Amino acid sequence: MLNMQKKCGGEVLELGCGTGRVSLALARQGINVTGLDLSNPMLEIFRERVEEEHSLKDNITIVHGNMADFHFDKRFSLIIAPFRAFQALTDNIDIENALKCIKAHLTDEGVFIVNVFKPFDVMDESWCYGETVQWERVDEKTGNYVVKKHWGDKIDVKNQVIYPHFAYEVTDSSGNTERYTEDLRLKYYYENQLAEVVTKAGFKIIERFGWYDKRSIEEANRELIFVCKKM
């Protein structure tokens, strides 16, 4: 993605920036980034991280907003919706409006990159699964022991929406454990469907990848990463 931005020049807009993982990585390369997200708690963490890396403040603009309805007085050479962010839009009208906003804010030669997970097979009720440990580790800053768990208890096959959940169990040095949960709703796409959605919105797909190292969809078969330009 960094090479793509260097080819395009100009500024980057990240949709669904969350706590700033991607935006911060870009800013560290001297790139000017605007991060937009609907979650105030996540943006607060993002702001704290920028304060910790004070030298990045001039390269980052953090905006609380909806990716289905945003307005800036400038356009961007690169707009990205990385790692599931676009899938948080589950209503067809919101999806259409988001793509209209993206197109309106993209420079004439700009690039839009969208990334969603690729279903391994036809999605149905067999997708649902019980609570499972995803990882466990010691937090380097706090010394707390953290266990991340996940599960999926519902799928809407007609509208292609899944309901995954995450839980973080945090144990401090005194042995006290607190559990924090996050409930999500994500729309899933098959390759031809995502292609139809973006082309209908006035984009042409110039590259397709199946993983972040630019392997093809046939080679990796894990992600759908579409690199698009305006028609």
Domain of 175: which CATH number?
2.20.25.110
pLDDT of residue 9: 60
pLDDT digits (tens, 9 = 90+) for 56-69: 999 999 999 999 99
Q: What's the total number of domains in the chain? A: 2
Q: Do 77 and 166 share a structural domain?
A: no
Of the candidates 163, 151, 38, 39, the residue with the CA atom closest to the CA atom of residue 90: 163
**Domain range spanning residue 153?**
125-186
Q: Do 172 and 141 share a structural domain?
A: yes
pTM here?
0.90
Token pair of 220, please?
A: 């990796």
pLDDT of residue 221: 87
Q: Do 87 and 37 share a structural domain?
A: yes
Q: Do 34 and 50 share a structural domain?
A: yes
What percent of the chain stands above pLDDT 70? Answer: 96
Between CA 223 and CA 60 the distance in angstroms is: 28
Q: Do 145 and 113 share a structural domain?
A: no
* pLDDT of residue 120 exceeding 90: no
Q: Do 215 and 107 share a structural domain?
A: yes
DSSP string, 188-199: ---HHHHHHHHH
pLDDT digits (tens, 9 = 90+) for 172-223: 999 999 999 999 999 999 999 999 999 999 999 999 999 999 999 999 989 9
What percent of the chain stands above pLDDT 90? Answer: 94
pLDDT of residue 3: 55
| Secondary structure of residue 29 in the 3-state scheme | coil
